[in-house]
Structure formats: structure tokens, C-alpha cells
Amino acid sequence: MTRSAARTTRLAARAGRVLLVDPRPERMVAAVEEAVGERIRWATLEDRSLADVRVWFCAAPPPGRMLVLPALEWIHTGWAGVEGWMRRPEWSDDVVLTRTVGDFPERMSQYVFGYLLAQELGVARAIREMQTRAWKRWTPGSIAAWRLLVVGHGAIGARIAEVGRAFGMSVSGVRRGSVSAAEKKNGVHSVEDLDQLLPIADVIVNVLPLTPATQSFWDRARFARMREGAVFVNISRGGTVDEGALHEGILCGRPGRAILDVFREEPLPSDHPFRGLDEIWTTPHVSGVGTVDALAKEFAQNWVQWREGKPLRNVVDRKRGY
């Protein structure tokens, strides 16, 4: 055995086993091991004992039951939102929780502009006319020069803002934490400025994490401040929105339309007030679906950091909730 191989073996043994929770474990194992260039000692929920598990890679919703993991030191979740972990006893004060960013900025920005463009270009109308073999011309709309407001200016929000600028939009952002000088130059504001920004925005994209401070953040008062006909897009969490207030707002034209991918109750009930309204487009929580390659790559990068005793990326701050 070479010196490098022997060192790798010692480091892997020191790291203990990795508990993998994923609906496609064979593919995930292969992708992670290819990314790190070595074999990893894996564990599954079916194992009789998990006493030596020090790392939990949870790429799927965690099991309903509490797990006994006495040696656990690090949890990596395959989700960007982490509100569900706040109630998990496995995430104790001695355990580090990291979240996934992966390709979510690209996927979620493509979702936002895909649906905005679909509405402005008349994609639904085009499909109807193709089906009926009609030929009735119209003038498609454009999102250029629209004023875009991104609320929640982290990695995902920053990418949405960047794509908006590429489409010729006037872009502003809001974040709850401190705003750097460079961010201010790019139009990022503190949350205290939100009330002044809402009335002038044509599109408001909600990317806020769900925390006690953002529960029902989008309420009647904030919807009432939106300009008539504005578009509200929610790709973060359903709990950040007062759905009754949004429904009332839509009926009053503030906002005029909504594109919603997340809801308080999922699946969205068939008799929900959002159903059947032309002004509301709904999708079944698909804007930020994690893919094997992206999840594996991000875990692999942190695994190398972990094995070397270096700081992990995307560590969750329990007090902030993200």
C-alpha cells in the first residue's frame, strides 16, 4: 500500500461510517465515491446498529422516528430549507448541520423566468391554438425593463437577480442580514426598506427561508402595498405566506397574478381556493428538486473538508434558522 493510500485509509476509518438516507442509494453511493475518488464506509437505516455513525448524509426527508446515533458529529441535508431539522433531536448542540446549495440557484432561477416568460409570451395560448389548429396572431409581452424585487438575497436570490439583469430588468434585492457595500451597489437593501420597494416592483420573488421571524411574512399589509397587477412568485416555503391574504389580494388585484411552487399543505388540496383561478399558476414543489450529481458533488466537497479537519461549507446557524 502506498503512503497516500495508507493515509486515506486511516482518515476514512477515523471518520467512522456515513449513514445514507436516499431513495436511490446505489446511484448516490457511486456518484459520491466517484467525486471523492475513494470508497466510503456506508450505513443504512436497515443496519442493526448505527453506533459508529459519525456522519449522516440525508438526501431525502428524514425518517419519522428518532435515530440513535451516539457518535454523530455532522449532518448534511440534501435540502436548502432546514426548518424541519429544528425539531430533530439528532441535531444537538454538538452536531454540525450543513445544507445543500448545489444547482438550486440555476434550477430555481430557470423556474422563475421560465414561468414569467411563459405568461408574457402567451405559451398557454399558443398550445391551445396548436391543439385547435387555429391561426390567430398576437403581440407577445416582454419582461425587459420590468422592475424585479428579490426578497431573500442569498445564493439563490443572487442568481435570480443576475438572470433578471440579463433580461434587461431593473433589479432590487432585500436581505434580512447585514448588507455589504458591494451588495448595496447591486441594489440590495435591508428588510427595513421593503415597504418602500413593494409599491414600485412589477415582480416580487420570495426566496425567504422559513423561520419564526418569516412565518406568514407575506401578510395582508404587504400584499396591499404591492402595485396593482404585480406578479408574486413563491419558490421558498408555503409557511412564509398568509394564503388567505394572498387569495384576497389576488381578487383585489394586489398582486394581480401569482406563480406558486410551495404551499402550507402539500399536496395542494383539490378544493383549495388557489385552484381554478386564472391569475394563479401552481406547480407541485418542483422548482428546486435535488439531482443525484449535484447532491453528490456538494456532499463530496464537504466530505473532503470533514476528513481533513477543515471548516465545512454552508453550515446552518441555529439562531438564524438558515
Q: What is the CATH number of the domain that holds 263?
A: 3.40.50.720
Q: Where are the beta strands (DSSP E) in 9-167?
A: 17-21, 42-43, 53-58, 74-77, 96-98, 147-151
Contact 58, 21 (CB under 8 A): yes
Helix H or strand E segment including 293:
helix 292-307
Residues 35, 147, single domain; the answer is no
Residues 298, 277, single domain; the answer is no
Residue-wise pLDDT tens digits, 30-76: 999 999 999 999 999 999 999 999 999 999 999 999 999 999 999 99
Structural domains counted in the chain: 2
By residue range, what is the domain housing residue 25? 3-102+290-307
Residue 178's pLDDT is 87
* Grid coordinates of 240: 412564509
The pLDDT averaged over each successive group of 10 residues in the chain (322 residues) is 44 73 97 96 96 96 95 96 94 96 96 98 97 97 98 96 98 92 93 97 97 96 98 98 98 98 98 97 96 96 95 94 88
Residues 206, 228, single domain; the answer is yes
Residues 172, 256, single domain; the answer is yes
CA distances to 122, 146, 285 from 142, in Å: 10, 8, 26
Residues 77, 118, single domain; the answer is no
Residue 314 belongs to some domain of the structure = no
Residues 17, 40, single domain; the answer is yes
Residues 252, 118, single domain; the answer is yes
Residues 144, 81, single domain; the answer is no
Residue 317 belongs to some domain of the structure = no
Residues 38, 80, single domain; the answer is yes
pTM of the model: 0.92
Residues 55, 180, single domain; the answer is no
Residue 81 belongs to some domain of the structure = yes
Residues 98, 110, single domain; the answer is no
